[in-house]
Amino acid sequence: SQELEQSPQSLIVQEGKNLTINCTSSKTLYGLYWYKQKYGEGLIFLMMLQKGGEEKSHEKITAKLDEKKQQSSLHITASQPSHAGIYLCGAGAPNSGGSNYKLTFGKGTLLTVNP
């Protein structure tokens, strides 16, 4: 089965600093999703990457997909306290026994942004 390894497990940065979170898959990536979770809240969908080399941005968050490396990175520029939370990556696989609703998730990266 597919496994997603996220690094780092946790990260503490000073407000205004840039940071990168990585998500590496044990198998070929066919779609990679990034979510953010705040304590006591559900997952909030951030971005979906489907093609190798694809890059998407939303406000100060940029995600890239490196298909060859089976890896995705999430980069935050000029971090703010509002960026704090847990970032999760999720990946799907084609023909998951006909179950196209099954996703594999990483363990998450806990981001703390100090003012």
Partner 1 sequence: ETGVTQTPRHLVMGMTNKKSLKCEQHLGHNAMYWYKQSAKKPLELMFVYSLEERVENNSVPSRFSPECPNSSHLFLHLHTLQPEDSALYLCASSHYLSWDPYEQYFGPGTRLTVT
Residue 46: name the closest of 71, 16, 21 by CA. 21
Whose Cβ is closer to partner 1: residue 71's or residue 79's? 71
For 24-83, give the DSSP string. EESS--S-EEEEEE-TTS-EEEEEEE-STT-EEEETTEEEEEETTTTEEEEEESS--GGG
Q: How far is the CB of 72 from partner 1 (least distance, A)?
A: 14
Binding mask 51-90 for partner 1 (x = CB under 8 A): -------------------------------------x-x
Query: Where on the chain is the footprint of partner 1 (CB under 8 A)?
Result: 4, 9, 33, 35, 40-45, 48, 88, 90, 92, 99-108
